[in-house]
Amino acid sequence: MSVIDPVRYEILRHRLWVIGEEGRAALQRVSASPIVVQGGECMQSFYDASGRMVLACSGHLRFAAATSDAIKLLIREFGSSPGFHEGDQIFNNDPYVAGSHTYDQMVVMPIFAERRLIGWTASSSHTADTGGLLRGTATEIYHEGLRVRALKVVERGQFRDDVCKTIVEQCRDPYYVELDLRSRVAANNVSGARVLRLVEQFGLEFVEAAMRKMIEDSERLARAKLRELPDGTWRSRTYATAMRSARPFQVRCTMTKARDEVSFDFAGTSPQQDDDQNSTLPSTLAHVALALTNMLFWDVPWSDGKMAPVRVSVPEGTFLNCRFPAACGGAPRVGQILVSAVTECVAKMLYAAGRLEEVNAGWQGLWYQGGPGYFYGGTNANGLPVAQGLYDIHGGGFGATPLRDGVDTGGHANIPAGGISDVERIELSYPFLYFARNHNPDGAGYGRHRGGAGSHRLYMVYGSSDLTVDFRPYGGIPNGGFGLFGGYPCGTGGMRAILATDPVALARRLAEGRYPTSGREAVEGGWATVHVPEAGRPRVALPERWLVSDFVQSGGGFGDPLEREPETVARDVASGFFTRDAAERFFGVRLDRDGAADLAATDALRDETRARRRRDARASADAPATLPPGDPLATPHHSLEIVRASAGARWRCRRCGADLGDAAASYKRGALRAIRPLGQVSDAPLPAGDFIGELHEYYCPGCVALLQVDVFCPTLGDDAMLHDIALAMVARAPQPA
């Protein structure tokens, strides 16, 4: 069928989307996992007979992208023996095949019509219990529990109790794991039956033609969008730290866009780690697809077609393409570092195209890693195994845009339809009593438009005598976020620590109706002291009535914080998003006794801050060269434009006209630079250890506007002045005679 009716096609396409959402809802209703039921970490998706993704619903995007790999492997390795039949459903959770780690589990089902395989549906979700070592302790994939390449859990429509029991009895909580397994089967049953009804209504020939068209449309629309964007190269660099030491590592991303294709090269990325902070190649490719779906191809149908114009190169042996049998339990967090690296490049490309509504700063900013994680082990007050992961991270802050602030506790980049767990439900499943969960003061990225605030939380261990949590040494370097054009990658506030208490004294004070609402208040008020376990212990015990203080990711800022309206900063302080100290240090805003902006004092403080920038950058008092105004060749930066001058294309400040040098080189070469040790920037010292990185701030040499805030780790080497923006049109621009 060369031409299909467009009206019927749109009806079918939207019906398939709704079927995916119905399957996802069925999965959540049957699942026992808090991260699935409340957090939405699940996916229902559809594939053609060869394994190409036709459409994904609004669930966990990483799952949908990875499942194509699993289906193609099934066809290649098991298509002949034992083969696939109507009613079969196959279990897989091997991260070296698809997914990110053994906790990403899927069940795929072939769909037959007229005795012929016409496609597949797949349900995926996160199951925290795989029967392996508790999180944080693995150094090989063998430690991470159940790992299945392909196993029929339903055969010709008959649920196989023998296979089910073989899987779930390897786990600590077989009832919970079995419900998760059955939830995926239920979701496939719902979705598969609905697809066959589409075949009855529209006819098999039309359905197959429509599925091909969905993939073709995605590729066509993706290529069309790329053609509308400027050609060039953009670079980014993000950091994280290891599980067993404070050793830093980095993702290095180079994105090159030419005509209707885009490529990503991760050369320069750190080697694979000796803990579980690794990503397999399937996981890395899935996270690249996730990043592009969020930032670039959000308005393109979510099929494999959108990735046809994308090329990805990842050196083998790096922690983004680890060699078997490396452990990879931490791959989702690694993936978020990767997503930040990719989306920073995409955001700057979109800004250069003038698509301001589509530009976002980073969504994954953490001021530091280390301290207690959120993977628990032990039993709760009812003697039941703890449900392991505590996913308040699904309420993170979104990045600022060129036009407005980021959304506070808005969600998670992975899951368009995700959610945050309800506190009362957490307290039913976990041995915790929450004292506070609120927006994290000074947690959002500073900027002309601030990033969205993430949350902080303080809770007490209650009803368990055997609770443990994963624990990593404090790695004092921001990771996973980025600011844009003078915005900070994240805020500088928050405490992540285990807090030791005197249980008797604590109970007495609680009985008086008092309790702390932050880790800092708990320490400064004498409720608790920071407990730092001995080095090298990836899991530590949490005695009853001890406290845990934590914070989740926030959004990066956009633009120079000194450009934020003083009255807006005053409202931020009144609302608890920022402290008075941050208002002065980063925004240059002074408040009066009543909390209102003191405009005269603010003007004086901002003048003083600009003078300090010059001193910190060791700048000459001489005025820099300026360029006359004129029509820009391009505007790839909020504060800078590229203009044609007698010496060729040049970087020019849009505010004061300062000349920042040859546009074929980095504008940073012509900017002022100040290096600020992280310990001097932070709201408070690390609970243990020292910060290991720096903020490199770049200023206009004329008006000292803040142009860029880069995180840099000197111990890893690399070029400090990362050449982040290089437009191809500059290289092609004619030179003056």
**Per-residue pLDDT, 715:** 92
Contact between 303 and 52 under an 8 Å Cβ cutoff? The reply is yes
152 Cβ contact partners less than 8 Å away, ≥ 6 residues apart: 82, 88, 89, 90, 91, 160, 163
Q: Note the helical H segments in 31-60.
A: 34-37
The per-residue pLDDT for range 422-481, each reduced to its tens digit, is 899 899 889 999 999 999 999 999 999 999 999 999 999 999 999 999 999 998 999 889
Sign of the torsion angle spanned by Cα atoms 123, 129, 130, 136: positive
Per-residue confidence band for 86, with pLDDT thresholds at 50, 70 and 90: very high
CA distances from 50 to 70, 76, 377, 515, 572 (A): 11, 10, 41, 59, 53
- The continuous run of DSSP H or E covering 628 comes out as none
Query: What residues have CB less than 8 Å from 162, skipping those under 6 apart?
Result: none
Give the per-residue pLDDT at 475. 85
480 CB neighbour count, 10 Å cutoff: 29
Burial 32-68 (b: 16+ CB within 10 A, else e): bbbbbbbbbbbbbbbbbbebbbbbbbbbbbbbbbbbb
Residue 537 above 90 pLDDT? no
**pLDDT tens across 544-561, in order?**
999 999 999 999 999 999
Place 388 in a pLDDT band, splitting at 50, 70 and 90. Answer: confident
Residues whose CB falls within 8 Å of the CB of residue 179, separated by 6 or more in sequence, listed in order: 30, 31, 32
Burial class (CB within 10 angstroms; exposed 0-12, middle 13-18, buried 19+) of 74: buried
DSSP per-residue string spanning 93-119: --TTTSSSSTTEEEEEEEEEETTEEEE
Residue 403's pLDDT is 97
The answer to whether 642 touches 730, Cβ cutoff 8 Å, is yes
Pick the more confident residue, 534 or 275: 275
Mean pLDDT for 480-504 is 96
Rounded to an integer, the average pLDDT of 77-95 is: 96
Range name among 146-160, 315-329, 618-632 with the lowest pLDDT average: 618-632
Q: Is the pLDDT of residue 251 over 90?
A: yes
Q: How far apart are CA 185 and CA 161, in angstroms?
A: 13
Peptide bond into 503 cis (omega under 30): no
- Map residue 43 onto helix, strand or coil: strand
CA-based torsion, 308, 309, 310, 316: positive or negative:
positive
The reported pLDDT for the residue numbered 732 is 59
What one-character-per-residue DSSP string does 525-565 give? TTS-EEE-PPTT-SEEE--TT-EEEEE--BPPPBS-GGGS-
What digits encode the pLDDT tens for the residues 18-50?
A: 999 999 999 999 998 888 988 889 999 999 999
Q: Is the pLDDT of residue 620 over 80?
A: no
Per-residue pLDDT, 737: 41
pLDDT of residue 420: 86
Q: Pairing between strand 539-541 and 694-699?
A: unpaired
Over residues 150-165, mean pLDDT: 97
> What's the Rg (C-alpha) of the chain?
26
- Report which residue type is found at 618: R
Model pLDDT, residue 249: 95
Closest C-alpha to 123, from 175, 180, 52, 168: 180
pLDDT at 208: 96
Please state the rounded mean pLDDT for residues 232-255: 94
Output DSSP code: residue 202: H
Q: What is the sign of the dihedral through the CA atoms of 606, 608, 611 and 617?
A: negative
Pull the structure tokens for residue 375: 């993977």
SS3 percent helix, strand, coil of the chain, rounded to 5, is 30, 25, 45
Tokens 């003007």 identify what position? 603
Instruction: Report whether 146 contacts 128 (CB < 8 A).
Output: no
Quick one: CA torsion of 44, 131, 286, 470, rounded to 10 degrees? Answer: 120
Q: Is 41 helix (H, G, I), strand (E, B) or coil?
A: coil
Cα separation, 583 vs 600, in Å, equals 15
What is each CA distance from 83 to 69, 89, 112, in whole angstroms? 17, 12, 13
Closest among 314, 217, 212 to 272, alpha carbons compared: 314
Instruction: Write out 331-394 in H/E/C secondary structure.
Output: HHHHHHHHHHHHHHHHHHHHHHCCCHHHCCCCCCEECCEEEEEEEEECECCCCCECCCECCHHH
Is residue 572 predicted with pLDDT exceeding 70?
A: yes
pLDDT of residue 736: 44
For 627, how many CA atoms within 13 A lie in the half-sphere containing its CB? 27
pLDDT number for residue 731: 63
Q: What predicted TM-score, i.e. pTM, was given to this entire model? A: 0.96
Q: Which structure tokens are listed for 655? A: 């505010």
Is it the case that residue 387 has pLDDT exceeding 70? yes
Quote the CA–CA distance of 43 and 21 in Å, as a whole number.
9
136 backbone dihedrals φ, ψ, rounded to 5°: 100, -15
- Sheet order of strands, 659-662 included: 640-645, 648-653, 659-662
Is the pLDDT score of 238 beyond 50? yes
Q: What local confidence, expressed as pLDDT, does residue 269 receive?
A: 97
How far, rounded to the nearest angstrom, does the alpha carbon of residue 270 sit from its chain's CA centroid?
19
Q: Is a pLDDT exceeding 60 seen at residue 248?
A: yes
Angle at 414 between CA 411 and CA 415, to 5 degrees: 60
**CB within 8 A of 11, min separation 6: which ones?**
none
Strands of the sheet containing 694-699, edge to edge, are 672-677, 694-699, 706-712
Q: How much is the mean pLDDT over the chain? A: 94
Per residue in 405-430, pLDDT (tens digit) is 999 999 988 888 888 888 998 998 89
pLDDT for 392 equals: 87
